[in-house]
Amino acid sequence: MLTADALRRRLGYAFVLCVFVFLVAPLIVVSASSFDSGAYFAARFPPHELGLKWYREIPPKYWHALGVSFTAASVASVISAALGVLAALGIVRGKLPGVEWLRSFFRMPLQIPLVVTGVVFLQFYYSLQALMGVRLAATLPGLIVAYVFVGMPYVVGTVGAMLERLNPRLDEAAAILGCSRWRTFWSVTFPIIRPSIIAGMLYAFVVAFGDVPLSIFLSSSSYTTLPVEIFNTLQFDFNPSVLAISTLIAAMSVVSLWVIQRLVGLDMIPR
């Protein structure tokens, strides 16, 4: 006989379990049906004939798009990391008056719907082209610049949080022992904040890598990112190989997030 408390607790756990099933079900369905070699025009879940057919038949345009996405997202995440670390150091260590405003300013890109950011950047690029002849719309650098804009807040967030937790006595100790400021930074501060830099960089990467609403405005037929390619496939012509490539992207995101968890834990999500 269960006590009322134990029963209530079990009901609570059962509810949580149901919600998590709802959350992960689409991913399980996508990955499971990507291994169904028998399906032709529609995805089947549960899969009937297991096989890697659709992985072998991923069309070249997806691989090309994967290359574009991967290049743009990784270059952008490195640039975001460099800028974000500088910003976080300035915010936390600079102790400027009104620093909350500065924080909000750097967090601003997260407050703007990505569709709006996409339209804004498209128009910005067109006006740059008209004024200075620089062509950024529908080019790889154009994508990278936009991804830096949305990626930077994540680095500022993770690195800033780590810097605030860091004990200032460590720096003082190094200084007392005769370290120069430069040396103190590289041999005391930097090793401590390094995991948070990588974590912020991975967040920036994951967000850029999976983005549709921003990239849909900034890509062209020769520079399409993978999520946009999948989006178009789903709207116009379904093919089971889309499941295979989707499974690959999901796996990549899960690995990145697992690395973040190992590095800094997942409780510092900048949002």
> Which residues within the stretch 207-236 sit at the binding site for other proteins (CB under 8 A)?
207, 209-213, 216-217, 227, 230-231, 234-235
Query: How long a stretch of residues is the chain?
Result: 271
Question: Does position 83 bind other proteins by CB under 8 A?
Answer: yes
Among the listed ranges 47-55, 57-65, 70-78, 201-209, the one in contact with other proteins (CB under 8 A) is 201-209
Give least dist CB 161 to other proteins, A.
4
Q: How many CA within 13 A on the CB side of residue 112? A: 21
Is there a contact between 213 and 118 (Cβ–Cβ < 8 Å)?
A: yes
Burial 99-111 (b: 16+ CB within 10 A, else e): eeebbeebbebee
d(CA 43, CA 32) in angstroms, rounded, equals: 10
Subset of 103-132 contacting other proteins (CB under 8 A): 104-106, 108-109, 111-116, 119-124, 126-127
Q: Does 30 bind other proteins (CB under 8 A)?
A: yes
Residue among 101, 164, 190, 222 that touches other proteins (CB under 8 A):
164
Q: How would you label 27-51 residue by residue, b for 16+ Cβ within 10 Å and e otherwise?
A: eebbbbbbbbbebeeebeeebeeee
Q: How many residues bind other proteins (CB under 8 A)?
A: 100
Among 94, 134, 141, 186, binds other proteins (CB under 8 A): 94
Only segment of 52-60, 70-78, 165-173 that touches other proteins (CB under 8 A): 165-173
Whole-number minimum distance, CB 51 to other proteins, in Å?
18
Enter the DSSP assignment of 240.
Answer: T
d(CA 151, CA 236): 30
Selected binder of other proteins within 78, 250, 259, 263 (CB under 8 A):
250
Region 176-195 residues binding other proteins, contact defined as CB under 8 A: 176, 178, 181, 184
